[in-house]
Amino acid sequence: MTKRADPGARAREYAVRAPGRVNLIGEHIDYHGLPVLPMALDRAVRIEARPRDDGRVALRNRDPRFPPARFDLGPALAAAAPGAWQNYARAAAHVAHALGARRGVDAVISSDLPAAAGLSSSSALVVAVALALLAANELDVPALELATALARGERFVGTEGGGMDQAVCLAARAGHAMLIRFDPLSCRPVPVPDGWRVWVAHSGVDAEKSGAARDAYNRRRAEGRAALARLAPGVTFAEALAREPAEDWVARAERRLDDVLLRRFRHVVLEAGRVERAVSMLEARDLEGLGALMTRSHASLRDDYEVSHPRLDRLVDAALAAGAAGARLTGAGFGEIGRA
């Protein structure tokens, strides 16, 4: 971390921008330390800010659904009510404070990312608030270091998330997907061939990550861990897959795990293999091949991981019927989880 040599920065108004993302493939496996392949969107959270002389953070959101927020930087900063949007800003404030930020900001937030739609609007908000605070304090933090700190910091809202969203938000490159690996975090840009188009469509079913979907998300993570602990105690998913092919692990899981844990485990280990193959397909410009992997990923998320929704399944079918090479759920899923 370095201090930026721009003493005038404090007095000026400035703007920061943090894009949302669409994940091409590799869903619900980042929190198990397995690779993912997202790309940034051209939609983003944007913050216009002015540094303050004290540690107050005063945020106004142009979207009237999100009321103004005020709090002070510091280690004692507590969470607001569960589900409150400002908890994402508070998470960012904790991380920025730990990285040396002492000055707060007066800031206005705007976004053209739909919230609760699986496009990482919440992590984009976390990244944007952190960037605004770091800029106010003339602090420069390398992207991957910041991504790692923010992924951990975002757990402040109670979701045991992985590190995909923050990493692609901070390290994305235009025209490229990002192969993200964890432990340690690394990002490799993979060019998306000219003429390929990724269409993002909303099923119309929302899933609020800090709300009801949070418990279901954390439960999935716990189920994956429990399954692995049963089959290979003391070993990470990455270590297990380095040792033996995913298909052998699935065969063992079929003998030793009950229905739910077996299906969660099977999704995780097979999805990791699909990510590796997807990278090869992108590099080989094999659109049909990549599409088939994406559609298989969706079936696994629907049947084994149980995070889809009938309306999302119909949207996938419609996209395929209309000629898409592949179609799938992106993001955490769990639309309308309250219905269960």
Binding site for ligand GLA (CB under 6 A): 27-28, 30-31, 120, 123, 161-162, 164-165, 331-332
Q: Which residues of 96-135 are buried (b: 16+ CB within 10 A; e: fewer)?
A: bbebebebbbbbbbebebebbbbbbbbbbbbbbbbbbbbb
Annotation says 165 is catalytic: yes
* Residue 54 C-beta: closest distance to ligand GLA, Å: 32
State which residue, 133 or 301, has the beta carbon closest to ligand GLA: 301
Q: Single out the catalytic residue among 106, 165, 183, 313.
A: 165
Tokens of 287: 């659109």
State which residue, 138 or 165, has the beta carbon closest to ligand GLA: 165
How would you write 3-24 as a 3-class SS string? ECCCHHHHCCCEEEEEEEEEEE
State which residue, 31 or 85, has the beta carbon closest to ligand GLA: 31
Tokens of 145: 């270091």
- How many Å from the N-terminal Cα to the C-terminal Cα in the chain? 46
State which residue, 19 or 162, has the beta carbon closest to ligand GLA: 162
Q: Cα 300–306–308 angle (5° rounding)? A: 85
State which residue, 184 or 195, has the beta carbon closest to ligand GLA: 184
Q: How far is CA 59 from CA 64, 91, 93, 137, 204, in A?
A: 12, 14, 12, 17, 28
* Residue 135 C-beta: closest distance to ligand GLA, Å: 24
Count the neighbouring beta carbons within 10 Å of the beta carbon of residue 63: 10
Answer whether 23's CB lies under 8 Å from 45's CB: no
The type of residue at 313 is D
Q: Tell me the angle at which helices 259-283 and 246-256 cross, rounded to the nearest 10 degrees.
A: 170
Of residues 146, 145, 148, 124, the one with CA closest to residue 33: 148
* Residue 174 C-beta: closest distance to ligand GLA, Å: 22
State which residue, 138 or 304, has the beta carbon closest to ligand GLA: 304
The type of residue at 117 is A
* Residue 180 C-beta: closest distance to ligand GLA, Å: 10
Tokens of 256: 């030793």
Of residues 321, 309, 115, the one with CA closest to residue 329: 309
* Residue 228 C-beta: closest distance to ligand GLA, Å: 16
* Residue 293 C-beta: closest distance to ligand GLA, Å: 15
Active site residues: 165
